[in-house]
A and B are shown apart, each in its own frame.
Chain A
């Protein structure tokens, strides 16, 4: 049933929110501490359990995935109700923080890549797999 998926998602979200609130109280802040992240862990655990017991039905999947697929539109709606007029007065902070974060992260991708040694590139993996499978024509079709 689709509602079981929606209900599972709702229960995980509520439990995560509850634990996040309790964690906030325990840590002495008036805030929800990591409720969303905790709820995500509950959902991952619930999914593992359901798969292991063969209970992951198509309807249940639909109920959760529908909401997951709505996440970008919801973020768009979230963006559309922000106080952008006030943020625009912040100006260059956005550009500096955003561009700086990307530049530093690009550099670290390169650094981690160099430090951890060479690995097969995507082209090499495909070439090897094509030889192993003995189907050379397969190469170009293996996009997805």
Chain B
């Protein structure tokens, strides 16, 4: 037993790759066999990650979820700010500027609204629940944009870990509702053409939510929605810790 935990601890980052990989396999199987592909495997993996962090936190009494377990410290490195930002920047490589221009003005309007409106809503809800400092309000508002924008913003402006966890949970919850709800409201909101799919992607933002929701509605719409959705996280990461944070701070006068 000590031999095993020694090899796991000595290769912390490698252990993290293996652990997350296994978690992704399990999630993929759950997605396929229990939800029949309705909920994306990645969304399930994130939820399982949060659940494990909950039990890890209970078991260790620490603040860093499963990363406080000696054998799983590598999770802290793998999911830390350094590699996270590195991987998010890498996704920009997939953005095709020529295609993006076709989305035109309406896509840009949807992107702007999709960032600002959920943010305002998130801030208002956070304020209603008694948060008063600009950092927490902004981070929870950013979490209502996507589960990436939330933690990136929180880390940038120095929010506390519980608030960052709340913002992730909010974003993940949003992604899940988008995935499950989209097929049911598709007809009502006119989601049957490339343009509305782009508007949808820009407004909803969460890439896993948009691609999962559109896949369950009409597979052919997926690339159009994902195209604007990929811009969403970048835009959110740009404006949430800057313009939106300053706006919140100016309004509450902190």
Contact = CB atoms under 8 A, between A and B. Distances in A.
Interface of A: 9-10, 12-13, 16-17, 20, 23, 27, 29-41, 43-44, 47-48, 61, 64-68, 70-90, 92-102, 104-110, 112-114, 116, 119-123, 125-126, 142-143
Given A36-B152, A44-B95, A82-B161, A97 B125 contact: yes
A12 to B, nearest CB: 6
Contacts of A97: 121-122, 125-126, 140, 143-144, 170
Nearest to B194: A122
Given A47-B93, A80-B66, A109-B200, A34 B172 contact: no
A49 to B, nearest CB: 12
B20 A76 contact: yes
Contact of A79 (B53, B57, B63, B156): B53
B234 A112 contact: no
Q: In terms of DSSP, what is the predominant structure of the interface of chain B?
A: helix
Given A33-B156, A109-B110, 5 more contacts: A9-B93, A31-B241, A41-B234, A48-B97, A109-B191
Interface of B: 16-17, 20-21, 23-24, 42, 45-46, 48-54, 56-58, 63-67, 75-76, 78-80, 83-95, 97, 106, 109-110, 113-114, 117-118, 121-122, 125-126, 129, 140, 143-145, 147-148, 151-152, 156-158, 161-162, 164-166, 168-174, 177-178, 181, 185, 188-196, 199-200, 203-204, 208, 218-221, 234-235, 237-239, 241-242, 245-246
Nearest to B239: A34
Contacts of B76: 81
Given A83-B65, A88-B54, A40 B121 contact: no
B181 A71 contact: no
A5 B52 CA distance: 34
Contact of A113 (B16, B94, B113, B189): B189
A101 B166 contact: no
Contacts of B109: 112
B224 to A, nearest CB: 9
A76 B45 contact: yes
Contacts of A95: 173
A131 B146 CA distance: 41
